[in-house]
Amino acid sequence: MMSFDLSIPGQLSLALLPELVLAVGAMLLLLIAAWGRESDARARTVGMLAIVLSLITMAIIVWMWLSGAKATPGIIAVDSFRWATDLVILIATIITIALGLDYARVEQLVSAETYVLVLLASAGMMLLTSARDLIMVFLGIELMSIAVYILAGVNRRSAKAAEASLKYFLLGAFSTGFLLYGIALIYGATGSTDLATIGTKVTGATIGSQPMLLAGIALLLVGFAFKVAAVPFHMWTPDVYEGAPTPITAYMAAAVKAAAFAALFRVWREAFPGALGSWHLALWWLAALTMVVGNIIALVQKNIKRMLAYSSIAHAGYLLVAVVANNQLGSAAFLFYVLAYTLATMGAFGVVIAVGEPGERHQQLSDFAGLWTVRPWLAAAMAVFMLALLGFPIAGGMGFFAKWYVLQAALDATHPETGLAVLLVLTSVLSAGYYLAVVMAMFMRPRSADAPALRPVRTPTFLVVYASAIILLFFGIFPGGFTGLARNSVPTITASAPSASPPTAVAGR
Amino acid sequence: MPNGFVYEFLFYLFGLTAIVSAAIFVTRRNAVAAALWLVNTMFCLAALYIMMDAQFVGAIQVLVYAGAIMVVFLFVVMLLNLGLPPSVADIKSKGARIIALVAGLAMLAELLVLARQKLPAELPWLPRETSVTTPITEPLFRTYLLPFEITSVLLLVAIVGAVVLAKRRS
Amino acid sequence: MHPLAGSIAELVWLLPILPLIGFVINGAISLFTSFHAGPADPSAAHGEHDVAHAGHEAPDTHDEHAAPKRAPLHAIVTIVGPLVLLLAFGLGVAIFVAMPSHMATPFVKTFFAWMPVGTDLPIHWAFQVDQLSVMMVLFVTGVSALIHIFSVGYMGDDPGYARYFAFLNLFVAFMLVLVLGASYPVMFVGWEGVGLVSYLLIGFWFNDKANADAGTKAFIVNRIGDFGFLIAMFLIWSNVGTLDFSGVAAGVGSLPAGGPLLTTICLFMLLACTGKSAQIPLYVWLPDAMAGPTPVSALIHAATMVTAGVYLVARSSFLFSLSPVACLTVAVIGAVTALFAATIGLKQWDIKKLLAYSTVSKIGYMFIGVGVGAYVAGLFHVITHSFFKALLFLGAGSVIFGMHAAYHHTHSTEDAQDMRNMGGLRAYMPLTFVMMWIATLAISGIPIFAGFFSKDEILGSVIARAADSTLADVHWLGIPGSAVLYAVYVLALAGAFLTALYMTRMMLYTFHGPNRTGVEEQAHLHEAPPLLTFPVVVLGVLSVLGGIINLPAFLHLPAGWTGALDQWLAPVVGDATLHVTHGVAAETPHEVALVGLAIVVAIAGIVTAFVKLKPAALVPKRDAQPATGFERVLENKYYVDELYDRTVVTPVVAVSRSFLWKGIDAGLIDGVLVNGSAWFMRGLARSGSWLQTGQVGAYAWAIVIGVLAVLGAFTLR
Amino acid sequence: MVPEALFFSAILFVIGVVGVLTRRNAIIIFMCVELMLNAVNLSFIGFSRLYGASGQVFVIFVMSVAAAEAAVGLAIIIAIFRHHETVDLKNINLLKGWCSNCPWPNRVECIRLPAPSPSWCGCCRYCR
């Protein structure tokens, strides 16, 4: 049983051990990467070491989780919600790097720094998931985002990648302005940036007389909505996802979204439960619009990466339903959902990499036609991912339960969100139209005569794709253990909420 | 020192100058001119900071923002040779500008509810003999030590990123 | 201690596992052996699709008369595929035998905690062995085993032989999960699973685009139904707090009987049923689904999966019986569908399409049965229908097999499924001829055949409920319940007349009169091989004798002969039935007269067909004139597909394309550009060129509009 | 003077937003974002008059973030300039929902066909 007193710097750094290991390790890798002439072999070495480093960090997290680490209320949280999301983020990191190793070979990219940047971005995400202070939220988001801006444009030969990077950067910086203004106004209204302290000041009774607080919450919500790509703040998503290198796209779709959602959950659960009446309307509409628009626009997409981009928007909508539910079940549903979604989405992008040709060609739906006849296992894995995203039981593995829990959370809310639940089910019925289009193309269309011969699937992609599919299927049949874990990972998020512990005196003085 | 007529006059003067400079900055067709007007805004802001008992931040504002960041901007503008031809202005059409202005005014109107917020009383001014850095050091290196360290990682990422992106195409 | 504990019923988990093993073995074989796409199959939809013609004229598939190359490891597949089903059937019989004659409570075998719901009521992966599920298991495995055997002969030359059996096994596995599941979620897994596999099987010959589209259509329509299922489940969960059948049955009493909540739950469930069981308004997928291999149609689209909706209503009888309005809706939908599909069936030329509409119509009858609370009658009809409809499909398969073989020999590209190309087949396929007549008499409701008893029980129940039941007491859309029920009876009777008519028409055009296949082809027409005829004969016997399981009381047979199924299912649906009938065993007034009327109607249908239809005057398909007037409407299935296309599919695509995608993503102005007039386009294009997509500026605008909206939602209140 | 500072701050922020909406030059848009950050800084300084020096600390963090963003952003802009010889966003839209050859979006995607027949897919009239 570890317990940290976060007001002591030494103990604070111990509580941040995983982040420290990851960041310091990344810096060491940077030294290796920068040492001497850059070569393909060196880049691969760095990539491998980055995977090892992520695994070490995961081991540390698991160790700290198992040893029941606790902490006094402070600037960061030490709870299982953090550990759980960190693990998801690190899984996404490992998948990204593994896919990146293959991708670099296909596209003939040599950039060892890419892997270091991925690690540093992940460190930023992990800080974000642990942040219990709005300034930490801001810095975590920025660390993550700036690294991802760079990663999107890391393929210097590609004009599309540069454009994706620019669009993401400009709009991201723009949204950061709103986020920061929101933080400023919340600070101005409550005199603190500490979530628990804010939570004590934000009560349903006084919220009406605090317009500054309301405006602050609104702008903070805008900042988060941009990061999770909620409609109407989603418009960068398809362009950036299409233009960015595919492993980075997968990283954005999974890890960035997971981290931003984790922060959104924590902030909303710890700081603003008292303002439910104020934010409910806006979040409700965000969730509804995101589900509807994301799903409908996805129907007409022919480029797989764009289709998956709209799909990721739609899934952000489903997750927003869990935010609106604003209960413990919602947070548990989020953890389950985000793992299922991460595996399915990243696996799908892995298949896209395996099917694609150098120069990011052959990413149209038609290029998947008849995949079953040439790569049956790849097609089967892709079918699992599509069905998981669709939320189909058994064959879609965890995807079904993911949606199920979100629905449950929505109906379990204090005021059951029946409307959103119905909308969720309806829009996911709609989503069959585009997910099944992929399945149909793979299994029921002949391979076009001029389709290029597929490259052999390389080991990292192979491992990533099949491991994801197997995990999805396994937890789809036996979700029990994992859901228990997810549910138990929730309560501590509110352990430091106003009623449970006195406001901390750490911040804002 | 504060709260005399001169103080208030100067406060409004700097504030309005900042706003007017910003407005001019937004409307200049020439990128170099625009950047210089933005520098002017930042100087005015620095003055406001100092007048609000944040002398250290005011100094940083001049050094870092107006001095370093804006110089880099100007440098890039010059490097890409964007300063000169005003004929190919990159500003949008008049209609677009008017609609943007309307949106801006709407946003301002929504933000004006802030005026209804009751704020606590202002803190007393620091005694004149205090060093201007003292009030900042305590929170910066104690309470916010962790965020402070994170900014160092952030800058490292920025450096690596700039190098990666600006390298010649292989 | 439950009487079944420790008995062979403990092995209930093996039931779905056995076909699953078959799936794994056959699937592995199909994956690891060489893979060729393409139909080498008799009934791959010809004639209707030009695409198919092109495929059939390809030299590599059809120019060889030598014995076709068989798929690798053919023998293993042949053994494994049907064997697992026979084993499962055997196990089902063993469980049936082990069950005591009166078992008041179901035997629930829990395997593991599957879905922790909330904190205290986890949903287990559990199977329920009771009278209803055992009945379903017996007929699902039994009929499936026969169809598997038929498939060995029918699909033997198909290159996808192993894949076909893998899918077929998987289908049965899911179907068994569906009927054995002890809670709604477990049932839902089977429910979704059979949908998925049927999608794969319909699109089995996937190089024909129409087939793939039919599969997709089936899947998406089914998803709409699944939406209803999910919503119903959540409503139950949030109001009763559990999803186990036993738990819901116990807890549902606390809800207001007949209240809006129960009705809503039942109606959403009904939506699910209409999707799976192809009822109005979601029936459109079933006729198209005939694109798959014929045995698949027999198994999935006649005998098992499509009856899942009836099973769901019967399984949820504790819910439906409490909501008379929902019950009446079920009955009305069933009656309207029964008549509607029968009229369409009247004018179909494709023998499989005709049988498809016949199926839709017959399931309508089952819905009437379970709708009026005569659950046993509905389930009885499910069983007898599975016998004679599987028989009809397999018989039709034999016919198509023979026709195709004949056309194959002469390299003709005529349609092997069009009845106008048949005629006089009785001379060539005498056994099939006899069997098909048996099935026709059974489906028409001629006494002693199985269909007669089950259909008359349904019709009788309608009259009984109209006289006295909770259904008769309520108003449905402002109409008194009893009036609704009498209307249902009239519709059903009309449907019975049409059934006899169109089935006899099919027989006349297929087997009677002169042969229209072609002079050359006649030499090659002959009876199907024994592997195909054996299951047909078994089903023929069942179609004759199937009625024995629930003979009506008015026959005054010795005790134990009548109402066997009634007594068997009483522990499951008895309470619900009694609830509908005010707690007294229903007695049908004037029962003998009603039965007589039904017989007269059926015979009238057959006689009308014989009198009115002149098979001798029929011309082969290629010489046929297009139909006119109402006939054409019927031939085009009331243009429902077109209507759906125009009213649902096109607008959705249009909304998606022009409004949401282009409107929001590509810019409002541009969306108008495409759809509006050219003048409007150019005018707006100039003023609105700033909102071009791909432009960061446009995206920033979207963000600002979002900010204004969100900020407004927070502060302007 | 705190309310006045907040008022100035809001106006400056909105001017930055309007700038982002009206400009097409990537660098100027970025400068407008910097203006927005500066406006927020003014608010922070104002609040530090009410709650103590932590507001000033936040400003320092924001400045470092702005510096980092500037470094990365300008590098990205230079990379764009290398590809397009311009930083006018009007000319930078390879990425959109449809074929770059299409004058307007009536198709989802036009595809360049592979080598033997180097033409556009012909999925719309502009690709033929």
Which of B108, B110, B146, B167 is the best substitution to test chain A (most A C-beta atoms within 10 A)? B146
| The three-state (H, E, C) secondary structure of C389-442, written as one string | HHHHHHHHHHHHHHHHHHHHHHCCCCCCCEHHHCCCHHHCCHHHHHHHHHHHHH
Contact list, C698 vs chain A (CB under 8 Å):
235
Tell me which residue in C113, C200, C706 faces A233 most closely, judged by beta carbons: C706
Q: Which residues contact D6 (CB under 8 A, 6 or more apart)?
A: A188, B114, D43, D46
| Partner B contacted by C705 (CB < 8 A) | yes
Output the pLDDT for position C291.
Answer: 76
Computed over every residue of chain B, the mean pLDDT equals 86
The pLDDT value given to residue A475: 86
For residue C320, which of C243, C275, C268, C365 has the smallest C-alpha distance? Answer: C268
Cβ–Cβ gap A188/D6 under 8 Å:
yes
Residue with tokens 């024909």: C208
Q: Which residue of D has its CA nearest to C662?
A: D105
SS3 string of C342-400?
Answer: HHHHCCCCEHHHHHHHHHHHHHHHHHHHHHCCCHHHHHHHHHHHHHHHHHHHHHHHHHH
Q: Which amino acid is at A125?
A: M
Give the three-class secondary structure for D33.
helix
The pLDDT of residue C78 is above 90: no
User: What pLDDT digit, counting tens, does each position of C302-340 carry?
Assistant: 788 888 999 999 999 999 988 889 999 999 999 999 988
Query: By the CB < 8 Å criterion, does A289 face chain C?
Result: no
pLDDT at C38 over 70: no
Per-residue confidence at A118, pLDDT binned at 50, 70, 90? very high
Chain A residues close to B158, C-beta within 8 Å: 146
pTM, whole model, 2 decimals?
0.81
Record: contact A232-C713, CB cut-off 8 A: no
What whole-number distance in Å separates Cα of residue A437 and Cα of residue A397? Answer: 19
Among C689, C690, C708, the residue with its CB nearest the CB of B103 is C708
- pLDDT computed for residue C216 by the predictor: 66
Domains and CATH numbers, chain D: 2-84 (1.10.287.3510), 95-128 (no CATH)
Q: Could you tell me if C136 and C147 are in contact, meaning their C-beta atoms sit under 8 angstroms apart?
A: no
The CA distance from C674 to the nearest CA of chain B, in Å, is 22
Q: Is the peptide bond before C72 cis (omega within 30 degrees of 0)?
A: no
C66 has a pLDDT exceeding 50: no
Q: How far is D89 from chain B (nearest CA, A)?
A: 9
pLDDT tens digits along C234-264: 888 878 888 889 888 888 888 887 788 899 8
Q: Which of C292-301, C528-537, D18-27 is the most confident on average?
A: D18-27
Contact criterion met (CB < 8 Å) for C700 and D20 = yes
The answer to whether C711 faces chain B, any CB pair under 8 Å, is yes
pLDDT in tens, C380-392: 999 999 999 999 9
Sketch out chain B's domains with CATH numbers.
1-86 (1.20.120.1200), 130-170 (no CATH)
Instruction: Quote the percentage of chain D above a pLDDT of 90.
Output: 52
What share of chain C in percent tops pLDDT 70? 80
As given in the structure block, the two tokens for residue D51 are 């709650």
Q: Return the residue in A136, A166, A183, A368 with the most chain D beta carbons within 10 A, the one to mutate for interface testing.
A: A166
Nearest Cβ partner for B110 among C687, C697, C716: C716
Spatial contact of A88 and A342, defined as CB atoms under 8 Å apart:
yes
Tokens 């002591």 correspond to A8
Euclidean distance between CA atoms C289 and C349, whole angstroms: 16
| pLDDT confidence of residue C622 | 64
Q: Which residue in B has a C-alpha nearest to residue A136's C-alpha?
A: B147
Answer yes or no: do C212 and A444 touch at CB < 8 A: yes
d(CA D32, CA D16): 5
Is the torsion defined by CA of A267, A272, A273, A279 positive or negative?
negative
Nearest to C708 among B96, B107, B113 (CB): B107
List CB contacts (< 8 A) between B82 and chain D: 25, 27, 87
Chain C residues with at least one Cβ partner in D under 8 Å = 661-662, 665-667, 670, 673-674, 685, 692-697, 700-701, 704
Are C704 and B113 an interchain contact pair (Cβ–Cβ within 8 Å)?
Answer: no
Instruction: Give residue-wise pLDDT tens across range A370-410.
Output: 888 888 889 989 999 999 999 887 777 888 888 888 988 88
Three-class DSSP category at C123:
strand
Q: Tell me which chain A residues have a C-beta less than 8 angstroms from the C-beta of B146.
A: 12, 16, 75-76, 136
Shortest CB distance from B110 goes to which of C687, C690, C715? C715
Q: Could you tell me which chain A residue has the CA closest to the CA of D40?
A: A181
Side-chain half-sphere exposure of C549, counting CA atoms within 13 A? 22
Indicate the residue of A139, A153, A185 with minimum beta-carbon distance to B151.
A139
Measure in Å the smallest separation between the Cα of D57 and chain C Cα atoms.
Answer: 27
What pLDDT, on a 0 to 100 scale, did the predictor assign at position A290?
92
Q: How much is the pLDDT for B168? A: 66
Residue B30: DSSP 8-state: S
CA of D116 to nearest chain C CA: how many angstroms apart? 25
Cβ distance C231 to A411 less than 8 Å, yes or no, reads: no
Cβ contact D38–B65 (<8 Å): yes
Q: Is B80 helix (H, G, I), strand (E, B) or coil?
A: coil
Q: For residue range A245-282, list pLDDT tens digits in order.
A: 999 999 999 999 999 999 999 999 888 888 888 899 99
Burial of B121 (0-12, 13-18, 19+ CB in 10 A): exposed
pLDDT tens profile C447-466: 888 888 888 889 988 988 88
For B84, the 3-state DSSP assignment is coil
Helices B94-111 and D2-22, packing angle to 10 deg? 150
| pLDDT on residue C629 | 62
pLDDT tens readout for residues C367-426 = 999 999 889 999 999 999 999 999 999 999 888 888 888 888 887 777 778 888 887 888
For residue B158, which residues of chain D lie inside 8 Å, CB to CB? Answer: 67-69, 71-72
Q: Report DSSP state, residue C513.
A: S
- Is residue A470 very low, low, confident or very high in pLDDT (cuts 50, 70, 90)? very high
Residues 104-133 in B contacting D (C-alpha not used; CB under 8 Å): 104-105, 107-108, 111-112, 114-115, 119-123
Residue C386, token pair as written in the block: 């599975």
Q: CB atoms < 10 A from the CB of A507, how many?
A: 27
Q: Shortest CB distance from B15 goes to which of D8, D65, D67?
A: D8
Contact A149 D76 (CB under 8 A): yes
Residue A505: band (very low, low, confident or very high) from pLDDT cuts 50, 70, 90: very low
Give tens-digit pLDDT for C601-640: 999 888 888 887 777 777 676 666 666 666 666 666 666 6
| Cross-chain CB nearest to C674 (options D93, D96, D106) | D106
Name A92's Cβ contacts closer than 8 Å, sequence gap at least 6: A122, A250, A251, A254, A255, A258, A342, A346
D96 to chain C: closest CA residue: C694
Q: State the complex-level ipTM.
A: 0.92
Q: Work out how many CB contacts closer than 8 A connect B with D.
A: 223
Among C690, C701, C711, whose Cβ lies nearest the Cβ of B110?
C711
* C-beta atoms of A127 and B163 within 8 A: no
Contact C714 A214 (CB under 8 A): yes
Quick: pLDDT tens for C89-142.
999 999 999 888 778 888 888 887 776 655 556 778 889 999 999 999 998 999
Closest residue, chain B, to D17 (C-alpha): B104
- Give the number of beta-carbon pairs within 8 Å between A and D: 134
Q: Which residues of B touch A127 (CB under 8 A)?
A: 150
Flag if B118 and A16 touch (Cβ within 8 Å). no
Kindly indicate the confidence band of residue C211, based on its pLDDT and cuts at 50, 70 and 90.
low
Please check whether residue A296 touches C, CB under 8 A.
Answer: yes
Query: In this complex, do B111 and C707 lie within 8 Å of one another by their Cβ atoms?
Result: no
Is the minimum CB–CB distance between A121 and chain C shorter than 8 Å? no
**Coil, strand, or helix at residue C113?**
strand
Contact between D84 and A159 using a beta-carbon 8 Å cutoff: yes
Residue of D nearest to A242 (CA): D95
Identify the chains in contact with C, defined as 3+ C-beta pairs within 8 A: A, B, D
C-beta atoms of A293 and C698 within 8 A: no
As a whole number of angstroms, the distance between CA B16 and CA B18 comes to 5
CA dist A175 to A168, B108, C379, C440, Å? 10, 17, 61, 71
- Strand pairing category for A3-4 and A70-71: parallel
Contact at CB, B103 and C705, closer than 8 angstroms? yes
